Amino acid sequence: MLISCITVTQPGRLELLRSAVADFAAQTHAERELVVVHDGDREFDAAVRALGNEHPGAPIGIHAVAKGATLGALRNLGVGCSRGDLVCQWDDDDRHHPMRLELQVGALLAKQADFCFLGDQLHWYPSRGEMSWDDWDREPYPLNFVQGTLLGRRALMPRYPEVARGEDTALCLAILDAGHRIARLRGSGWCYVYVYHGGNAWSLGHHAAISAAKRLGAARLLGREKILRERLAEYRPSLGAVVLPHAEGQIEIG
């Protein structure tokens, strides 16, 4: 089953994109394509294409568009350029474990669902070397999932609203309003790393509030320490040394 991973990027984010492309190339799910949409100039387009050429075995398509479109509009363009039975939101500034696609498509098929979202995520603050494991089941049903981890049937995809941010929340509400079946994959938060790097659409305060409200407590986090160490070691390029604080101390990895 072909999965089209949709990435929107722009000038100034090439190094972030480099890691997202490497993560795509390392995916264990074989039938996949990466659709990269950007609004940069010819120089940036050439740089993005050179980056894609670093992974000759990975199917990567680059689409340059005129400046001025919103993030939501660019996401819609990416979906329109895709060929997959399924589409997956693949943000250029986040990290994706090699098993992410395999796990999500497996959950979608097992539950005979139309869309699959992760129920938890890792939240990384590289500038201070800290990370939290955020459990989105603390949100009220039915929005108790990580909205940016969409994987779903292209034929059933609503359009993203053409706004500069918050487009994924509106899309999720449209999916729910349409009554589509949703699989919530829980316990695999290590397969998606939500990164705060200072140039995000949302502020540090927004990110910190998510972590403060949703981070796993000491007992649950310590119970996941072994699998967390194993899976973080599988990221290439490496995330480096990270610390996960909790009420009884901290977990140091790397």
pLDDT 10s digits, 92-104: 999 999 999 999 9
Exposure on the CB side of residue 136, measured as CA atoms within 13 A: 24
Cα angle for residues 96, 72, 120 (degrees, 5° grid): 35
The residue type found at 36 is V
List Cβ neighbours of 170 (8 Å cut-off, separation of 6 or more): 72, 160, 161, 163
Q: Closest by alpha carbon to 228, among 120, 125, 111, 140?
A: 120
Surface-to-core class of residue 148, CB atoms within 10 Å of its CB (0-12 exposed, 13-18 middle, 19+ buried)? middle
> 């999720």: which residue's tokens?
172
Q: Hunting for tokens 């998510």 — which residue is that?
A: 210
pLDDT of residue 201: 87
**Residue 166 — pLDDT band, cuts 50, 70, 90?**
confident
What's the whole-number mean pLDDT along residues 70-84? 97
Where does the chain have alpha helices with state H? 14-25, 42-53, 71-81, 100-110, 167-177, 204-214, 218-223, 225-232
Kindly report the CATH number assigned to the domain that includes residue 195. 3.90.550.10
Report the pLDDT value the prediction gives residue 74, as an integer from 0 to 100: 96
User: Could you report the per-residue pLDDT of 31-47, keeping only the tens digit for each?
Assistant: 999 999 999 999 999 99
Number of folded domains that form the chain: 1
Residue-level pLDDT at 6? 98
User: How far is the C-alpha of 62 from the C-alpha of 100, rounded, in Å?
Assistant: 22
- Rounded Cα distance between 245 and 254, Å, is 15
The mean pLDDT value for 85-96 works out to 98
pTM: 0.97
Mean pLDDT of 137-158: 97
Per-residue pLDDT tens over the stretch 199-241: 998 899 999 999 999 999 999 999 999 999 999 999 999 999 9
Hey, is 248 helix, strand or coil?
coil
Q: Give the confidence band of 158 by pLDDT, cuts at 50, 70, 90.
A: very high
Query: pLDDT tens across 117-129, in order?
Result: 999 999 999 999 9
Considering the chain, what percentage of its residues have pLDDT values greater than 90? 97
Structural domain span for residue 245 = 3-253
